[in-house]
Copies of this chain bind each other. A is one copy, B any other.
Amino acid sequence: MLSHLGNVFVLSAPSGTGKSTLAKQLVKEIPDLDFSVSFTTRRPRPGEVHGRDYFFVDDAEFDRMVAQDGFVEWVRVYDRRYGTGKAWIREQLATGRDVLLDIESKGARRVHEVIPDAVMVFLLPPSSRELAARLRGRGDESAEQVKIRLEYARHELAQWESYDYLVINDTVDQAYRRLESIIIATRCRRERMGAAAKNILDSF
């Protein structure tokens, strides 16, 4: 188990739900919240940057990290692998900063095992029809790929009971406000604010 001072937020969602856009906005606008950059063996999409969006590695490098126990969790999705590196997360939490992990449900459950007080957040599309429209609109998916992604989305959505918070992405603004609220509220929890409360009490 990783011991920590900062909070860990896990954000999962079916592909196409808008998770990455929202996650980027959260770390940009909320102070002391950093994005955990995952390792992946999939190839970069246009515009994706190594070290910002993902650490893009080949299969041999990924195998080496697995062998050296370098991942909090890693999963295979289709023919690709994704993993959350241990070293960076550990350092981040020790400094008291919050970490946002953007991972799918299988990886999320593994993080929850390693970090039991991680705050588990699940982002949902408003409906199957809306998700299909968004996947087609993305333009880099064939009809067959959309079908596979919808089937996988159904499988992901069935995991909703593993999460603490469920946020429907009906509009980006509403979804953002809800996610931001979950982070601000978590920072107000008694476990986090106890030292501050004691200081105030001592001033009386």
Contacts and interface: CB of A to CB of B under 8 A. Distances in A.
Interface of A: 124-129, 150, 153-154, 157-158, 160-161, 163-168, 177-178, 180-182, 184-186, 188-190, 193-194, 196-197, 200-201, 203-204
A81 B129 CA distance: 56
A188 B197 contact: no
Contacts of A193: 165-166, 168
A125 B200 CA distance: 8
A129 B204 CA distance: 8
B201 A166 contact: no
Report the copy number of this chain in the oligomer. Answer: 2
B190 A166 contact: yes
Contact of A157 (B126, B166, B167, B200): B200
A165 B181 contact: no
A204 B166 contact: no
Contacts of A160: 190, 194, 197, 201
A124 B129 CA distance: 47
Contacts of A197: 124, 157, 160, 166
A200 B17 CA distance: 13
Contacts of A126: 200
Given A157-B197, A200-B125, A203-B129, A165 B190 contact: yes
A201 B168 contact: no
Contacts of A196: 124, 166, 168
B204 A157 contact: yes
Given A153-B204, A160-B190, A166-B190, 16 more contacts: A125-B200, A128-B203, A128-B204, A157-B200, A160-B194, A163-B190, A164-B189, A165-B188, A165-B189, A166-B189, A166-B196, A178-B188, A180-B181, A181-B188, A182-B185, A184-B185
